[in-house]
Amino acid sequence: MTALVHQSAALFSPLRGVGRVGSQCEYTDGGWEARLYLGFTEIVGGKDDGHSQLIGFEFDFRRLTDLFTQVDQFLWNVGASSSGTNSSFVTLVGTIDDNQVCLKIYSRPPVEAGPAFHRRVDGTLNAIG
C-alpha cells in the first residue's frame, strides 16, 4: 500500500507554486482504502493571518490506472453545500496483484487535516511536519 500511495502522490501536478500530498489509509472489510489530497497553505502574519489557501492541481488518472492490475470502478463524486463550498473526489476500485484496493483522490483536504505549509508575510514558505 505504501508503494501505491507514493506512486499516486507523484501524479499530482500543482497548477502554481508547490504542493504537498497528504494521505489517509485504512484496511476495511472491502480491502485497503487510501485517500489522497493536496494539503493547504496557511498564511502566517499580516491581514490574512490564519487564512487557508487551497492549491489547484491536475492529476494524471491515465497513469494512475496503469498502477492497477484491474480497474472495476472509476467514479467521479461531486458534493455541494449551501455555504457555497464544493468538493469532489474520484474513486478507483480494483485490484493490485491479488489485493482489493479503493483509492480516492480528493479536490481539497479533509477538514481535520492541518496545513502542509506556512507562508509568512515576507513570502517565506515553510513545510509543516
Domain spans of the chain, in order of start: 2-42+51-110
Mean pLDDT, the chain, whole residue set: 92
| pLDDT digit string, tens, across residues 29-59 | 989 999 999 999 999 999 999 999 998 999 9
Whether pLDDT at 63 is above 80 = yes
The C-alpha atoms of residue 20 and residue 116 are separated, in whole angstroms, by: 6
Whether pLDDT at 84 is above 60 = no
DSSP letters along 18-52, please? ---EEEEEEEETTEEEEEEEEPPEEEESSTTTT-E
Q: Which residues pair with 3 in a beta bridge?
A: none
Which pTM was predicted? 0.87
Long-range contacts for 18-24 (Cβ within 8 Å, ≥24 apart)?
Answer: 18/117, 18/125, 19/55, 19/57, 19/116, 20/116, 20/117, 20/127, 22/109, 22/113, 22/116, 24/110
Work out whether the CA dihedral 42, 18, 109, 89 comes out positive or negative: positive
Whether pLDDT at 22 is above 70 = yes
Q: What is the β-pairing status of strands 99-106 and 86-96?
A: antiparallel
